[in-house]
Chains A and B, each alone.
Chain A
Amino acid sequence: MHSEYDSLGESGLQFFGKVSASIAHEIKNVLAIINENAGLLEDLTFAAQKGAAIDPDRLNRVCLQFNKQILRADEILKNMSRFAHSVDRFEGQVDLHELAVLVSNLAGRPAAMRKLSIVVEPPATPIIAKNNPFLVQNLIWLCLESAFGATTAGGTLRLAAERNDGRSGLRICGIDGLTEDFAAQLPAVCADLLDASGAKLIVDSVKKDLNLVLT
Chain B
Amino acid sequence: MSEKILMIDDEEDFLSVMSERMEARNMVVTTASSPLEGLEKAAAGSFDVVILDLMMPGMDGIQALRILKEKNPDLEVILLTGHATIKQGIEAMKLGALDLLEKPADLNELTEKIHAAQAKKMVIAEKKNEERIKKILMEKGW
Interface pair B104/A28, CB less than 8 Å apart? yes
Interface pair B17/A29, CB less than 8 Å apart? no
With A21-B83, A28-B104, A29-B11 already in contact, the answer to whether A40 and B55 are too (CB < 8 A) is no
B26 to chain A: closest CB distance in Å? 13
Contact of A36 among B17, B55, B82, B83 (CB under 8 A): B17
Majority secondary structure, B binding face: loop
Q: Is A207 on the interface with B (CB-CB < 8 A)? A: no
Measured in the bound complex, the distance between the Cα atoms of B59 and A112 in whole Å is 11
Interface pair A115/B82, CB less than 8 Å apart? no
Measured in the bound complex, the distance between the Cα atoms of B58 and A30 in whole Å is 21
With A33-B17, A153-B58 already in contact, the answer to whether A39 and B82 are too (CB < 8 A) is no
Interface pair B57/A36, CB less than 8 Å apart? no
Interface pair B57/A33, CB less than 8 Å apart? no
Mask for A22-53, Cβ within 8 A of B = 1, else 0?
A: 00111011011111110110010000000000
A-B CB pair tally, cutoff 8 Å: 60
Q: Is A206 on the interface with B (CB-CB < 8 A)? A: no
Interface pair A40/B82, CB less than 8 Å apart? no
Measured in the bound complex, the distance between the Cα atoms of B58 and A115 in whole Å is 6
Measured in the bound complex, the distance between the Cα atoms of B103 and A32 in whole Å is 5
Total B residues in contact with A, Cβ cutoff 8 Å = 20
Mask for B68-106, Cβ within 8 A of A = 1, else 0?
A: 000000000000001100000000000000000011110
Q: Is A65 on the interface with B (CB-CB < 8 A)? A: yes
With CB as the reference atom, state the residue of chain B lying closest to A72: B13
User: Can you give 14 contacting A-B residue pairs, CB < 8 Å?
Assistant: A25-B55, A28-B83, A28-B103, A29-B11, A31-B103, A32-B104, A33-B14, A36-B21, A39-B21, A43-B24, A65-B13, A65-B17, A113-B60, A115-B58
List residues of chain B with CB under 8 Å of any chain A CB: 11, 13-14, 17-18, 20-21, 24, 55-58, 60, 82-83, 102-105, 107
